Structure 1
Amino acid sequence: MNRVGVRDADPAWETTMTESVRRPAPAGARGDDAWLTDVARAASADAGGVPVELLGDYLRLLTDAAVTGRRPRRGELDAVEALGRRAAEQGVSAGRAVRLYLSAARRLWRRLPHLAGATDSETVRAAADAVFHVVDTAVATLAEGYAAARRDLVRREETLRRELVDDLLRGDSDLGGLVERAEPFGLDLARVHQVALAAPGHRLPDTEAAISALERVIFDRLGDRDVLVATKEGLLVVIAPADTVTPDRGGGDGGSVAGLGRLMHGELDRLVRGRPWQVAVGRPHPGLYGIARSYEEAREALTTARRLHADTSVIDAHDLLIYRVLLRDQAAMVDLVRAVLTPLSQARGGAEPLLDTLNEYFACREVATEAARRLHVSVRTVTYRLDRVRALSGYDPADPRDRFTLHAAVLGARALDWPRRPLPA
């Protein structure tokens, strides 16, 4: 915003306007200018108790303009900008700060001593033009300082938030320091929390819109206490208390997990950029280290879902626990897949159609008609493929003793992305 430079006072103006009038002192001065103190106090009351100190020398600038026509100097405008910054840092709203300045100008104009008995309309118009120019310039400059301070505060808070989230997800050992740093954000580390991660389908050039959308819906549904929304390594991170999320299913540790995931995905899916979104939610755990544990579960769930080529919108870490067990001993899992499933590669079309059939067959509790519906094939095709599995592997999907081995091997193959990728040596 352009600022007005120095304009020397017109001698003729000063002769006309300053007959028997001394230059007013700064706001709040004693003596003959005690009325300025009254103006400042009344303006402060109009603005809801905004500190009088935020007026600085503003009233002097107004009275100088009314008497001499002098416009504010650069240094005086810099002082007003600094007052705007101070208002933001003190938590005064922009509306109240502007109201303080406008109210002060209105009250001062009505009480200017040398205009009380003025009969020359041209003199009054000239004084009004000079005063309104100061009001316009000062309020604009005040707003500039306020906005700059707010931007600095937001950047500082975002940095502190990001550092706090990084330490929480890492499980920083400085418990006392984390408790102190979490308190301004309303986070009670003694509660049970869960962590959700949202991964965009495509890299976002700007995550602000996604963060704002998440904060709006999550704060509205869960409140702004004990909730943090941030970014980490290209993912949106939400830390939320587990007892404020509506459960989607009863029982188990993951009762409220899918509720948070669907809440996040429903809002993110409305954004133009980032789709398709995939949200993974860790299980709820108590305390500081519970946050780090839930984060690790959510991150592993995202990684596992990608390895399985799963297009599920909301991933519950609770549902993928079996894969964590299977992949802890990768050598044993590779051995199982090689021994049980590699013979299926001899089938016409390779092993993949037979694996898909086994996966859907086990998913629907060994009901061939339902498996056929999911695979979009005939029931006869499903039974033929199951017979081929039995003939090539030696394991019968219908035999309870063989079913567990086959199912574990199929899950392991999906986790290892076989047969799309060769088995590790």
Structure 2
Amino acid sequence: MFWEGSSVVRALTLAGCPLHELLDRQAARLARRLVRGFAEQIPLYRRLPKEALDGDITAITEHNLRLISRVIRDRRPPARADLAPLRESAARRAQEGVPLEALLAAYHLGARMVWEELFAGAGPGDVSDVLEAGRIILLYMEAATTAVGTAYLEERESLLSQEQHAMHATVSALLSGDRAALAGVRLAPRYLVLAVAAGRHPDEDGPGGAIAARRKLHRISTALQRHVAEPVLPALDTTGGLVLVPLQGTKPAVGEPLQEPGEPHQGAEPAVGELAAAAGKAAGVPVWLAAECAPPQGVPAAARLAEEVLEVVRVFEQPPGAYRLADVLLEYQLTRSSQATALLAGLLDPLLDNPDLLRTLTVYLDTGLDRRRTAELLHVHPNTVDYRLRRAVSLTGLDPVDPAHLQRIGAALAARRLTGLR
């Protein structure tokens, strides 16, 4: 028996021997056995260096055993100060990249092995003390795993905060071309610069709109990351932004182009089309990507061009997907301010008094000169389409059947969209 304050507390016993003394006497031997069990039954521990297993991990395991012994002796949960070594050990495991689930698995496996070791020879007369010891061990496990989980997550949050700060600094330096800020930073040979635009999710209009917007961005970033080998560098807000994808190797893989910003696209960038589709599916909103590839020093120019291409894509109401400059060459050129833009738009002014003619001509070009499909979309008879097209030709002098006229009509329609005319 021993005193706790002014009360006498009977020691829990097994075959007449105090349990806490049994555990204390074999703590060092049992700690080594537990660590061997961790390595045998938990895959992550099997891959840890022998130095770590025999050193830190065996030491903290023995500390846990002596702490359990004290808890059984005192019949009360451990004090916060007693758990400090557990918190420190959990923080080190977080720094080493040991998953939290592996760490908690070791604690639960250890508790089970301690139980089996201590009570393997218990008899009928030990039942009440065994049950009480089990209750106390559960209280200990509750306190220990809470301390371990909290310390681990706090350390990971701190590490992630540092990583994110470094990542944001790298993105800012790459986009601004700040070579001094990039000194000492390991850069990829090339970057795929993605200008991203994302539609608004319906949940963003509800009471939790800000949370919904952040969730949307997280899903987009996660979807992009799943499709590339290197960690992506995002700079996104609720409507979009820029993402830099590091590309390894000095030469492109099969299907990858290697060109300066603005050069014609000579093949599919690594999964860029799939990136747009995957990001849109994950976020539940339409996603547009404009892509350019550049070495680190070319990232600022590539980012500007990608943003300009994306703006053109949105102005001309292109469908969600992935785009390069080559995909919108005419539209891009029209957005460069000149007197020709207004003149091109004016080519179709003779149709303004009859909106049906302009609408029919627009749909006819959008459908690839398919009169039947045009009729379906306009809900009219194909003969009506033919009549309207003849009227448009007579008023403008531009016949879509003539290849030269077709180019001018397409340019005129694009110019009208650019200038806000319909």
Confirm or deny a common fold (TM above 0.5): yes
1:36 paired with 2:42, answer no
Which letter maps to 1:42?
R
Determine if contact 2:220/2:279 at 8 Å carries over to the other structure: yes
Calculate the TM-score normalised by the size of structure 1.
Answer: 0.69
Q: Secondary structure at the match of 2:77?
A: coil
Alpha-carbon separation, structure 1, partners of 2:12 and 2:269: 77
1:308 paired with 2:316, answer yes
User: Kindly tell me: are residues 207 and 254 of structure 1, through their superposed partners in 2, closer, same or farther at Cα, counting changes over 3 Å?
Assistant: farther
Q: Secondary structure at the match of 1:141?
A: helix
Which letter maps to 1:64?
R
Partner of 1:333: 341
How do residues 3-82 of structure 1 correspond to structure 2 at under 5 angstroms? 8=4, 12-13=8-9, 35-47=26-38, 48=45, 49=48, 50=53, 51-52=56-57, 53-55=59-61, 57-77=63-83, 79-82=85-88
User: Kindly tell me: are residues 202 and 413 of structure 1, through their superposed partners in 2, closer, same or farther at Cα, counting changes over 3 Å?
Assistant: same
Partner of 2:143: 137
Determine if contact 2:77/2:143 at 8 Å carries over to the other structure: no
Which of the residues 319, 324, 327 maps onto 2:327? Answer: 319
Partner of 1:4: none
Segments of 5+ residues of structure 2 without an aligned counterpart are 39-44, 257-263
Determine if contact 1:81/1:142 at 8 Å carries over to the other structure: yes
User: Kindly tell me: are residues 257 and 364 of structure 1, through their superposed partners in 2, closer, same or farther at Cα, counting changes over 3 Å?
Assistant: farther
Q: Secondary structure at the match of 1:177?
A: coil
Determine if contact 2:316/2:331 at 8 Å carries over to the other structure: no
User: Kindly tell me: are residues 226 and 175 of structure 1, through their superposed partners in 2, closer, same or farther at Cα, counting changes over 3 Å?
Assistant: farther
Alpha-carbon separation, structure 1, partners of 2:128 and 2:399: 106
Q: CA RMSD in A?
A: 4.6
Which letter maps to 1:337?
A
Partner of 1:97: 103
Alpha-carbon separation, structure 2, partners of 1:157 and 1:306: 33
Shift of 1:97: 2.0
1:119-159 CA-to-partner distances (Å, cap 9, x unmatched) read 76655554454344323321232223223333444454445
Calculate the TM-score normalised by the size of structure 2.
Answer: 0.70
Partner of 2:268: 256
The percent of aligned pairs where both chains have the same amino acid is 22
Shift of 1:190: 1.0
User: Kindly tell me: are residues 80 and 261 of structure 1, through their superposed partners in 2, closer, same or farther at Cα, counting changes over 3 Å?
Assistant: same
1:177 paired with 2:182, answer yes
Which letter maps to 1:306?
R
Q: Secondary structure at the match of 1:280?
A: strand
1:32-90 CA-to-partner distances (Å, cap 9, x unmatched) read x7853333333333332553254584333212123343531233245534443332223
Which of the residues 141, 146, 153 maps onto 1:147? Answer: 153
Count of matched residue pairs: 384
Determine if contact 2:193/2:302 at 8 Å carries over to the other structure: yes
How do residues 174-323 of structure 1 correspond to structure 2 at under 5 angstroms? 174=179, 177=182, 180=185, 189-191=188-190, 193-195=192-194, 197-202=196-201, 204=204, 205=209, 206-207=212-213, 209-210=215-216, 213-214=219-220, 218=224, 220=226, 222-225=227-230, 227-228=232-233, 231-232=236-237, 234-235=239-240, 238-240=243-245, 253=265, 255-256=267-268, 260-266=272-278, 268-269=280-281, 274-275=284-285, 277-283=286-292, 285-310=293-318, 312-317=319-324, 318-323=326-331
Determine if contact 1:323/1:411 at 8 Å carries over to the other structure: yes
Alpha-carbon separation, structure 1, partners of 2:131 and 2:371: 93
Alpha-carbon separation, structure 1, partners of 2:117 and 2:301: 67
Shift of 1:308: 2.7
Alpha-carbon separation, structure 1, partners of 2:380 and 2:12: 100
Q: Secondary structure at the match of 1:73?
A: coil
Alpha-carbon separation, structure 2, partners of 1:225 and 1:217: 13
Shift of 1:416: 1.6
Partner of 1:411: 414
Which letter maps to 1:253?
H
Q: Secondary structure at the match of 2:196?
A: strand
User: Kindly tell me: are residues 41 and 95 of structure 1, through their superposed partners in 2, closer, same or farther at Cα, counting changes over 3 Å?
Assistant: farther
Tell which deviates more after alignment, 75-84 or 392-401.
Answer: 392-401
User: Kindly tell me: are residues 348 and 201 of structure 1, through their superposed partners in 2, closer, same or farther at Cα, counting changes over 3 Å?
Assistant: same
